[in-house]
A = this chain, B = another copy of it.
Amino acid sequence: MSVQFNKVAILGLGLIGSSIAHAVRAYGGAKSISGHAKSAETLRIAAEIGFADNLHATAADAVKGADLIILCAPVGACGALAAAIKDAVEPGAIITDVGSVKGAIVRDCGPHIPSHAHFIPGHPIAGTEQSGPRAGFAELFQNRWCILTPLPDTPPEKVDALEAFWTGFGSKVERMAWDHHDLVLAMTSHLPHLIAYNTVATAGDLEQVTQSEVIKFSAGGFRDLTRIAASDPTMWRDVFLNNKDAVLEMLGRFSEELSVLQRAIRWGDGETLFNLFTRARDIRKGIIAAGQDTAAPNFGRDPTHKS
């Protein structure tokens, strides 16, 4: 199924917003692109790169005439954006978002959605550790899943149209309830980021090992965790503030497991360690078989890092 919206309004022009604009240019999905960003500097950079047809200083101006509106701001800022556009949304328009938490989006944006529009929360599971309007690129969503969490009263053809918009970028789409999304992502995304941030913080606070040693010898494994710990701090602050219960649940599970590993190390229980380490290989194989990571050793990094 091919889809062509008349005009997509992208509110927020960071990594995800700018990537959507590039993807629309590259693969279609809308005849024109209007963009809005809160910061004048972001608008200036967006104009310089030229990934939108029109740029607007206010969100309300950007959504005029748009039949698809995508909120691409940090989760904590989406409620205010929805409030700012509510009187300018065209009848029949789809309003969606790209936030990493869906319960908070339903809670914060829901009350501001006009009854003549259709609110379909969404979340492309795609990104890089970079942020801002220069970080976007058209291929970001290729081969990645996009989760839609439609509310029960949304007309199916509207959900189908939004699904087709994402599949046009090379994404696969799955639909689920918002509360299940928040639990799944707490495990596959929020907990890993928290653990990565925490490991980096641990390394930064040692007195026996210098920062310079941590950096030099990071190829032993530490560097892998620093990539996701370099992600946008505002976005991630908002994720943890807005998915508190699910994150604390996963963190509790993580800590329980860690106690078991810690005891195995303390007691010299090699069998428990070996069995747990062996099981971990299977999930990596599953991820590669599902096309969600590269099979190349070291993520295919060039060992010289000269590229």
Q: Is A201 an interface residue (CB 8 A)?
A: yes
Interface string of A283-307 (1 = CB under 8 A from B): 1111110111111111111111101
Also in contact, A188 and B205, with CB within 8 A (given A125-B219, A258-B255, A287-B226) = no
User: Judging by beta carbons under 8 Å apart, are A240 and B145 in contact?
Assistant: no
Distance of A297 Cα from B301 Cα, bound (Å): 11
Known: A191-B202, A230-B284. A218 touches B143 (CB 8 A): no
Confirm or deny: A1 has a beta carbon within 8 angstroms of a beta carbon on chain B.
Answer: no
Given contacts A258-B198, A279-B201, A303-B142, A129 and B223 within 8 Å (CB-CB)? no
> Hey, which chain B residues are within 8 Å of A139, CB to CB?
303-304
Q: How far is the CA of A174 from the CA of B210 in the complex (A)?
A: 14
A199 adjacent to chain B (CB < 8 Å):
yes
How long is the Cα–Cα vector from A228 to B193 in the complex, in angstroms?
Answer: 16
What mask results when residues 212 to 245 of chain A are scored 1 for a CB within 8 Å of chain B, else 0? 0111111111111111111101101110110010
* Residue in B233, B237, B290, B305 whose beta carbon sits within 8 Å of that of A291 in the complex: B305
User: Residue of B at shortest CB range from A277?
Assistant: B233
Q: Is A140 an interface position by the 8 A CB rule?
A: yes
B230 touches A209 (CB 8 A): no
Question: Do A197 and B294 have beta carbons less than 8 Å apart?
Answer: no
**Taking the complex as formed, is A83 at the interface, i.e. its CB lies under 8 A from any CB of chain B?**
no
Which residue of B140, B198, B280 contacts A200 across the interface (Cβ within 8 Å)? B280
- A202-B253 contact in complex given A218-B292, A222-B187, C-beta closer than 8 Å: yes
A121 to chain B, nearest CB (A): 15
**Total copies of this chain within the assembly:** 2
B300 x A253 contact (CB < 8 A): no
Q: Does A211 contact B (CB under 8 A)?
A: yes
Closest B residue to A279 using CB positions: B204
Which residues of the partner chain B approach A240 to less than 8 Å between Cβ atoms?
A: 264-265, 273
Contact residues in B for A142 (Cβ distance below 8 Å): 303-304
Contact B198–A257 (Cβ < 8 Å): yes
Closest to A225 in B: B192
Give me 22 A-to-B residue pairs in the complex whose CB atoms sit less than 8 angstroms apart, sorted by A's number. Answer: A125-B220, A140-B303, A143-B303, A184-B209, A184-B214, A185-B217, A188-B214, A191-B199, A191-B222, A192-B222, A194-B261, A196-B280, A197-B277, A205-B257, A211-B286, A218-B293, A224-B228, A225-B225, A227-B299, A230-B281, A237-B273, A292-B305
Question: What residues make up the interface of A, taking CB atoms closer than 8 Å to B?
Answer: 100, 125-130, 135, 139-140, 142-145, 147, 170, 174, 183-185, 187-206, 208-209, 211, 213-231, 233-234, 236-238, 240-241, 244, 247-248, 250-251, 253-255, 257-258, 261-262, 264-266, 268, 270, 273-274, 276-281, 283-288, 290-305, 307
